């Protein structure tokens, strides 16, 4: 159906993989710890994590498109998005948002008798949707988005363990600095438009050269957080090698984007970051099956 296809295009459903691998990595580490304690793996928990991630991200993306529809219509880069282009109506997107919110809340029931997911579901959704208003009042809006995605590994751990611990916190912090950095890079494309419209972003406030350095520092902090995760989660040389590869990819990402040439921002934003998120999941899982070298 055309409407469904347009909705999936609007929310960029395929880009769910930006956050989902981090939730799955936290879940894998939690399942590993559960197994050490004699608690069996349950497939329904995996289903619950995937459903929560898909519904939460879909709601956040659709709500953002809904709130920003007039801004998008005025911006030449975004004028062809589905709502300003007339491919999707406002009532249709509102209905989709309500369905996603209900689906997310219902999915948290899978984790009962752990009541924390259902108790935290509405505050989490409110925080996710709040991001859509952030650029109207703060240049740090990139880190509101980063905090929203940071929830994914922490929430997965809470759902499976009913507690907060250092591994998901450090993984969440890595996501925070990673997303904040690459969203700053992405926002450089709208530097002039945001200034003209009075919208807030780090590029609009500080200019592109300083913003690129800010993003690089954010990504350096991501690598430090991953090293902390490696130590706290007792991971091995496979994951450590993965961190080195991530650092190299981030350097490559920053070499793609220059103050006088933003033409390759999308390559840096989508392709490189997809490799990073999926790659960390793979090395995190593989690491657990590789025997440790005796010291």
Full pLDDT tens readout for the chain, 295 residues: 667 787 877 777 656 667 899 999 999 999 999 999 999 999 999 999 999 999 999 999 999 999 999 999 999 988 989 899 898 999 999 999 999 999 999 999 999 999 999 999 999 999 999 999 999 999 999 999 999 999 999 999 999 999 999 999 999 999 999 999 999 999 998 989 999 999 999 999 999 999 999 999 999 999 999 999 999 999 999 999 999 999 999 999 998 888 877 777 776 667 888 899 999 999 999 998 887 654 4
Is the residue at 253 inside a domain?
yes
Q: Are 132 and 115 in contact (CB under 8 A)?
A: no
How many other C-beta atoms can be found within 10 angstroms of the C-beta atom of residue 251? 12
For the chain, the domain total comes to 1
SS3 261: strand
What is the structure's pLDDT at 92?
93
| C-alpha to C-alpha distances, 275 to 159, 234, 242, 270, nearest whole angstrom | 26, 23, 11, 9
Q: Which domain holds residue 282?
A: 2-289
Structure-block tokens of residue 93:
């997107």
Prior bond to 34 cis, omega within 30? Answer: no
Chain-centre distance for alpha carbon 103: 19
Closest to 57 measured CA to CA, from 6, 23, 27 = 23
Name the percent of the chain in helix, strand, coil, to the closest 5.
Answer: 80, 0, 20
pLDDT at 295: 42
Q: What is the pLDDT, as a whole number, of residue 63?
A: 96
For the chain, helix (H) and strand (E) counts, in that order, are: 14, 0
Other Cβ atoms less than 10 A from the Cβ of 123: the count is: 9
Among 180, 109, 175, 168, residue whose Cα is nearest residue 144: 180
Q: Are 114 and 162 in contact (CB under 8 A)?
A: yes
Residue 96 is assigned to a structural domain of this protein: yes
Q: What is the pLDDT of residue 287?
A: 93
Bridge partners of 258, per DSSP, are 261
End-to-end CA distance of the chain: 59
Half-sphere exposure of 131 (CA within 13 A, CB side): 26
- 294 domain-assigned: no
Q: Angle formed by the axes of helices 43-67 and 141-161, to 10°? A: 160
Using left for φ > 0, alpha for ψ between -120 and 50, and beta otherwise, residue 207 falls in left
Q: What is the reported pLDDT for 294? A: 45
Residue 295 lies in a domain: no
In a domain, 146, yes or no: yes
């Amino acid at each position: 159906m055309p409407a469904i296809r347009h909705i999936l295009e609007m929310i960029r459903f395929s880009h769910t993989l930006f956050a989902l691998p981090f939730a799955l990595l936290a879940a894998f580490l939690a399942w590993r710890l559960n197994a050490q304690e004699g608690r069996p793996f349950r497939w329904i928990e995996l289903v619950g994590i995937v459903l929560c991630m898909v519904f939460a991200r879909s709601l956040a993306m659709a709500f953002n498109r809904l709130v920003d529809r007039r801004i998008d219509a005025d911006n030449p880069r975004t004028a062809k998005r589905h709502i300003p282009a007339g491919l999707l109506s406002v009532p249709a997107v509102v209905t989709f948002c309500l369905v996603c919110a209900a689906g997310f809340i219902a999915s948290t029931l899978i984790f009962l008798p752990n009541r924390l997911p259902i108790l935290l579901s509405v505050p989490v959704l409110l925080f996710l949707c709040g991001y859509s208003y952030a650029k109207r009042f703060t240049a740090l809006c990139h880190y509101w988005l980063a905090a929203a995605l940071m929830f994914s590994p922490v929430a997965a751990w809470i759902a499976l363990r009913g507690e907060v611990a250092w591994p998901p916190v450090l993984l969440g912090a890595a996501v925070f600095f990673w997303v904040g950095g690459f969203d700053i890079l992405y926002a450089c494309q709208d530097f002039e438009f945001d200034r003209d419209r009075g919208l807030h972003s780090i590029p609009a406030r500080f200019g592109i050269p300083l913003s690129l350095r800010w993003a690089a520092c954010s990504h350096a902090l991501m690598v430090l957080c991953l090293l902390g995760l490696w130590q706290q989660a007792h991971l091995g040389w496979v994951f450590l090698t993965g961190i080195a590869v991530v650092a190299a990819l981030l350097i490559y990402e920053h070499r793609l984007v220059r103050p006088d040439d933003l033409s390759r921002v999308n390559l840096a934003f989508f392709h490189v970051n997809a490799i990073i998120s999926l790659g960390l999941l793979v090395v995190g899982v593989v690491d657990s099956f590789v025997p440790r070298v005796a010291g």
